[in-house]
Amino acid sequence: RQPERAVVVTLAMAAGPPPPLDPSALPTFPEEGFAEKFLRKTRENPLVPVGCLCTVSVLVYGVICFKKGNTRRSQLMMRARVLAQGFTFAALLGGMVATAIKSRQ
């Protein structure tokens, strides 16, 4: 059965290349540097950098507590880190949905 599947894949690939993407539909910012892009993205979705900062600070505090021997506080901070990561991911998804809805209008 394996060789038959390989033949099907090769025949599908021989049908031709996929249609090219239309790059003109995408917004371009040719003179935009890293700092300008970072500020633009932060203005578009400010919750993502806030979530990243919260995640990193909770992680650093948890590691400090672990090194000091406060394992109970360290475990609490690792659980808080998971919550902060979840918030960051939700903010990222929310920003993507908002951008997609905004671009359709």
The single residue listed with the structure tokens 């808080």 is: 80
Q: d(Cα 96, Cα 93) in Å, to the nearest integer? A: 5
For 12-67, how does the pLDDT look when each residue is reduced to its tens digit (9 = 90+)?
Answer: 555 666 666 665 665 666 787 888 888 988 888 889 999 999 999 999 999 999 99
Residue 4 has pLDDT above 80, yes or no: no
Residue 54 contacts residue 84 (beta carbons within 8 Å): yes
Measured at the alpha carbon of residue 41, what is the angle toward residues 81 and 25, in degrees to the nearest 5?
A: 130
* pLDDT the model gives residue 101: 87
pLDDT band at 74 (very low <50, low <70, confident <90, very high): very high
* pLDDT the model gives residue 27: 63
Query: What pTM was estimated for this model as a whole?
Result: 0.63
Q: d(Cα 3, Cα 65) in Å, to the nearest integer? A: 57
Domain ranges of the chain: 45-104
* Residue 44 tokens, joined: 């578009």
